Structure 1
Amino acid sequence: MAELVQVVRDARGVAWLRLERPEKHNALSAEMLEQLEVAARGLGADPSVRVVVLAASGATFCAGGDLAWMRAQFDMDDDTRRRESRRIATALGALSDLTQPLIGRIQGNAFGGGVGLASVCDVAIGVVGGKMGLTETRLGLIPANIGPYVIARMGAARAREVFMSSRVFGAEEAVRLGLLSRVVAAEALDDAVEAEVVPYLSCAPGAVGEAKALLRALSGQVSDAQIDLAIDALAKRWESDEAREGLAAFFDKRAPGWSL
């Protein structure tokens, strides 16, 4: 199996969790999501890790779900499709459940599942010129499995602005929407990430973990019921003519029938 997710640790206890599929714009395939979940759970269980940085190789942070993998789900039975659908929810859950602080290094565009990844970071820093968007409805789909984490990050009022319209927005607007903490020039990104990492290295690791757990408990955690609801909603959407038309139009490089 190809290494689609890389983990590198430094002597300070900082772990870099990097998406390594740049030739596909780090689109999330089944294999990549499985590796991401395994890596996140391993880091969460490692007491020597004090901070995790979520990053990606290449020009794009994450283009969202791998559409070839998604298209293949049309031919799966319902149980298999639901199992495949759950992969992104469980990967995001593993990242969200990290006891260590998670810093997002969003060096390029992030769409769909990429927005979900940014949403589970405690701090996410983007770059000038970066674009983001929940673009599922353009394909006849819905941002279901990432939805609980996106709404937990943005709040329902701000999510209403972009959750249904597939509108692509800039990194500066992503700050206003609550998806990014701030935006810096590309050449300043590593320094900005390091500035977020360093304060934690003078904090008691156990106290940081307990403070993060308390924050989640007080602010309302994403529940299993919410995840199941999202999976059910997406499973129903997969059965629609719109979903088939949307993905067919994408691969045929044409506008779908509903597009004006």
Structure 2
Amino acid sequence: MNLATLKLTIEGFVATVTLNRPDVRNAFNETVIEELTGAFRALGARDDVRAIVLAAEGVAFCAGADLNWMKKMAGYSDAENRADAMTLATMLHTIYRCPKPVIARVQGDTYAGGVGLAAVCDIVVAVDTAHFCLSEARLGLIPATIGPYVIRALGEPTSRRYFLTAERFTAATAQRLGLVHEVVAPDALDTTVGALAAALAENSPNAVRECKRLVQDLSGRDIDAATIGDTADRIAAIRASDEGREGVRSFLEKRAPSWRAPV
């Protein structure tokens, strides 16, 4: 892929997508959004990728919208603004629904849309010096396209507070609130992310994909007859799948499953 704002590497079964605009704190613009969407669509379809790390260069993970992009948007018509917002919403949903698990490697401050970028990832690891802020209200804006994902991560009461106040909060607070899973010292960031990525790559690719979809599909659903039937259908299908059968056989035969062999 010919990328202007990202770096992309694949090592073993793990792809790393790195935001590469450190001079503007890795802020979004049209190119970043387009390239992130394309990269995650492409990686999600690759059999040789089992986990994706979303990283960033420089002191900030992501500062939200690029100022020059925001200046240009100020002159947009209503239709242009909606079309532009839909590209961002599509990018977020593409990462959220990527069939491969995504780890956010948060090495620095994360503001506005950057919080949404972290929230669409499956696992978030942040350094203990990072700060987070849903800063939109300070600018007369709202965290709309990122809202569904941030609210799922933080919950409604906490989202009400931080959407309205635009307070800055620490990585430790982000972990307590559910946005961040692991908080580590800067020198432990790569080791922690690497260990998580390796664990993901060890598991059945099909089971990991279906586990991710299961959590997303069941979140917020009533536990009614339809949900119960859906879960029964899913486990029946996975038991009958090639990897499901191989996993059980390998366990009983006390050997490594075939997906751990080199491809």
TM-score tier by shorter-chain length is 0.7 to 0.9
Partner of 2:195: 195
Aligned Cα RMSD in Å? 1.4
Paired residue for 1:50?
50
Aligned counterpart, 1:6: 7
Distance in 1 (CA, whole Å) between partners of 2:3 and 2:23 is 13
Percent identity between matched residues is: 41
Does the aligned pair in 2 maintain the 1:92–1:117 contact within 8 Å?
A: yes
Tell me, yes or no, if structure 1 residue 25 matches structure 2 residue 31.
Answer: no
Normalised by the size of structure 2, how large is the TM-score?
A: 0.81
Deviation of 1:220 after TM superposition, in Å, equals 4.5
Q: 3-state SS of the aligned residue for 1:75?
A: coil
Once the two structures are TM-superposed, the CA of residue 194 in structure 1 deviates from its matched residue by 1.1
1:145 & 1:119 partners in 2: Cα distance?
Answer: 12
Q: Distance in 1 between matches of 2:6 and 2:161?
A: 32
Q: Aligned partners of 1:124 and 1:83: how far apart in 2?
A: 29
Compute the displacement of 1:171 (Å). Answer: 0.7
> Which residue number corresponds to residue 243 of structure 1?
none
Provide the residue aligned with 1:62 in structure 2. Answer: 62
Greater Rg, structure 1 or structure 2?
2
Counting matched residue pairs gives 220
Aligned residues of 1:159 and 1:177 also touching (Cα < 8 A): no
Name the counterpart of 1:233. Answer: none
Any idea what SS the aligned residue of 1:6 has?
strand
The reply on whether 1:138 has 2:117 as its aligned counterpart is: no
Task: Report the CA distance between 1:67 and its aligned residue.
Answer: 2.1
Letter in 1 for 2:144: A
Q: Which amino acid letter does the alignment assign opposite residue 101 of structure 2?
A: P
Q: Residues of 1 paired with 2:212 and 2:140: CA distance? A: 37
TM-score, scaled to structure 1: 0.82
For the residues of structure 2 that align with 1:140 and 1:26, how far apart are their CA atoms? 22
Matches within 5 A, 1:90-169: 90-169=90-169
Whether the 8 Å contact between 1:34 and 1:91 is mirrored in structure 2 is yes
Unaligned ranges ≥5, structure 1: 222-260
Offset of 1:161 from its aligned partner? 2.5
Q: Secondary structure at the match of 2:8?
A: strand
2:228 paired residue number = none
CA distance in 2, matches of 1:98, 1:198: 18
Q: Which amino acid aligns with 1:34?
A: E
Q: Structure 1's 39 and 2: CA in aligned 2 closer, same or farther, altered over 3 A? A: closer
**Equivalent residue of 2:162, what SS?**
coil
Helix, strand or coil at the partner of 2:92: helix
Instruction: Please state how far the C-alpha of 1:89 moved relative to its aligned partner.
Output: 1.0
CA contact (8 A) 1:128 1:171 kept: yes
